[in-house]
Amino acid sequence: MEPRGTADMSGYGSAPAPKGDDNGKPVDPKWVTTLREYTGAGTTSSERLDVAKFVFIMLVSSGHFLEPFYKIGNRGVGAYMHAIYGFHVPAFVLISGYVSGDLNPKRRRALIAGTLAPYVIMHILFSLFYTRAFCEGEWTDERGHPECEFVNKWALMDPVVGQWDGWDKWTFAYPFAQLWYLVSLFTKRLWRPFALEMRWTLLFHVVLGVLVGYTTIGRFLSIHRSTVHMPYFLCGFLMRKHACFFPSAKTPVAKAMAVAALVFNVGCALMASYTYGMRVEVWFQSDPHDEVYGTRWAYGALYQLCLYAWTFFTMMTVFALIPEPEAVGVVYAGEETLPLKGADVEGQTKPPPAPKANARAGKYGKERDQATMAAKVYLRCAKWGARTLYPFVMHIAVLLLVARYTRWYDITWTTDGKDASVSVKAAWTLLMAYTFTIVLSLKPVVGLFKWLLEPNISPLFNPELQKL
């Protein structure tokens, strides 16, 4: 979900380069080299990152499609959401930090075109449709549904500050549904240069993340979420700078440990839902502690620290199960190494350019050149993962259309969440969500909505400055 940019960077906002050795070559801190030595951490390929993004967008989409059943008390859906909400959005944030470059002129324009422009356009369109479809008229008057609830007990728009009821009563300050991520990404990209000038910046931002819950800023401009998620973003950038990303499991023992950790995560999710009735909302990290934890609000900082720890544990587990391209047999004719997506980080030495005869065309190897089905599927998922902006924004549109113009979610108004029929409906909904996510990742769909999500706003900028 990172807006497209260029590979060129200025020094503005770069993390200070590591101290050099006698020859001037950058040297990482000892703890970083030790970590790489014992864990196998290092750089990672564009393909692996995009496969991970495809996995995460499938989880994001399915979570939203299933949430109506969680709202009416289905424990199975609650367990599924506990299992995925602990890592999928933080992992997206971490990847965004990993591939982000410095804000040179081209990247500043790309940031506006890839975050603010689609936010303004889609916020207006979503708000207009939602108000007309679910906050008035036949939905409330004839069907008798509560104002602005598109399924039972769930509204994506605040009836007071969200409805489109004239420009004098409407606001951009509370992003519609999933659009919060675009605002948050814009905020994090702007703040990162200042954050990297601080000492112990990760510790400082973790402290901010645990303390922001004691304020009442809430969902205003997604500031709460941006503050909580900033450590993930910075961690991703620093992982890139120090060539220390989560490694994939390569040995049978490592793979077995990763699978065991994943099973442990699922077991904890089942226990949280079925035994303790734990609210999924704790993973949203968007509201004050008193709204999330009730009478235990004073312990909110401790709970948030636990969420940080659990999130990094589950992210490490999932990334361990996503292999590098070579591990599944992906080959590149005439090329021995994989280039890394995004801008080069200051302080790292660039690899020598490959001869033109060996340079591959495009971002990835071609599927038709692969010898195994696993390699072809891997590259296909990577291509879909490179387009996650589209399913991320548009899957909510599909969800709202399904809720408004079909009877798919009528069961939420008529049936108790513990009923077996709700679980069956949820299973079919999971399959539907995965299918829609793949469809929204296809190239024709991207071409259809490109003018909305990646609008050409170059006429707004000085033509002479655009040459920089």
The pLDDT confidence band at residue 337, using thresholds 50, 70 and 90, is very low
Query: How much is the pLDDT for 374?
Result: 94
Q: What is the mean pLDDT of the chain?
A: 86
Mean pLDDT along residues 417-441: 97
Model pTM?
0.87
What is the Cβ-side half-sphere exposure of residue 278, based on CA atoms within 13 angstroms? 18
Distance of CA 466 to CAs 2, 105, 114, 117, 461, Å? Answer: 21, 8, 16, 18, 7
Tell me the two tokens of residue 119: 């936010």
CA-CA distance, 320 to 299, in Å (whole number)?
32
Give yes or no for a contact between 297 and 346, defined as CB atoms under 8 angstroms apart.
no
Residue 153, Ramachandran bin (φ over 0: left; ψ between -120 and 50: alpha; else beta): left
Mean pLDDT along residues 211-216: 95
Q: Higher pLDDT residue, 165 or 180?
A: 180
Q: Higher pLDDT residue, 57 or 105?
A: 57
pLDDT tens digits for range 236-286: 999 999 999 999 999 999 999 999 999 999 999 999 999 999 999 999 999
CA-CA distance, 141 to 448, in Å (whole number)?
35
Query: How much is the pLDDT for 294?
Result: 92
- Report domain extents, the chain: 35-350+375-467
Query: How much is the pLDDT for 464?
Result: 75
Q: Per-residue pLDDT for 359 more than 70? A: no
First CA to last CA distance, the chain: 25
Query: How much is the pLDDT for 163?
Result: 60
Query: How much is the pLDDT for 99?
Result: 93
CA-CA distance, 225 to 425, in Å (whole number)?
32
Tell me the two tokens of residue 210: 């645990």
Closest by CA to 2, choosing from 386, 397, 456, is 386
Q: Per-residue pLDDT for 18 more than 90? A: no
Q: Cα dihedral angle (192, 310, 33, 350), rounded to 10 degrees?
A: -40
pLDDT > 90 in the chain, percent:
67
Mean pLDDT along residues 116-133: 93
Query: How much is the pLDDT for 236?
Result: 95
